[in-house]
Homo-oligomer: A and B are copies of this chain.
Amino acid sequence: MLRRDYETQVCSIARALELVGERWTLLILRNVFLGVRRFDDLQSQLGIARNVLATRLERLVDNGVLERHPYGERRVRHEYRLTDKGRALWPVLVELMQWGDHYSPTPGGPPTVLRHEGCGGFMGPHRTCTRCGALLEFDDVRAEVGPGASPEHPLRTREYARA
């Protein structure tokens, strides 16, 4: 649907949205960025229908945003990891999060806080560190449970520590 609708638009934003603009897709990627990589974990945290999740994951794999990796001993199952193309969406998620934190705040404060690992500063505008001013990349940043997080926050329920 989305693909067909946006087809007349010669635009890089439209092309990006063809892939990541579907409902749930950016929230699935958010969880993968937080370290939630397995189908059942994603399903229970997002609370969406299994067939919807399966369709979204398949499309992300087909388009090179995620890769399937086997795990498990008794029977092989798969987890989903970000490719370079997927990891390159991190700025989009960070900017959406900062906008949401500011203009649609959660009562208790931000649910997730991004910090410059080592330095301890926070994620600021342009994805710079509020303390040292460094331009922060994915590997420089640690996601922490924020004051407004729910009990079901992915970083609380399992050991997902890295942004």
Interface, chain A (partner B; CB < 8 A) = 2, 5-6, 8-19, 21, 23-24, 26-27, 30, 46-48, 64, 85, 88-89, 91-93, 95-106, 110-112, 125-128, 135, 148-150, 152-153
Contacts and interface: CB of A to CB of B under 8 A. Distances in A.
B99 A92 contact: yes
Total copies of the chain:
2
B27 A104 contact: no
Contacts of A30: 11, 13
A12 B126 contact: no
7 contacts: A10-B106, A10-B150, A11-B27, A13-B97, A15-B106, A89-B99, A91-B126
A7 to B, nearest CB: 10
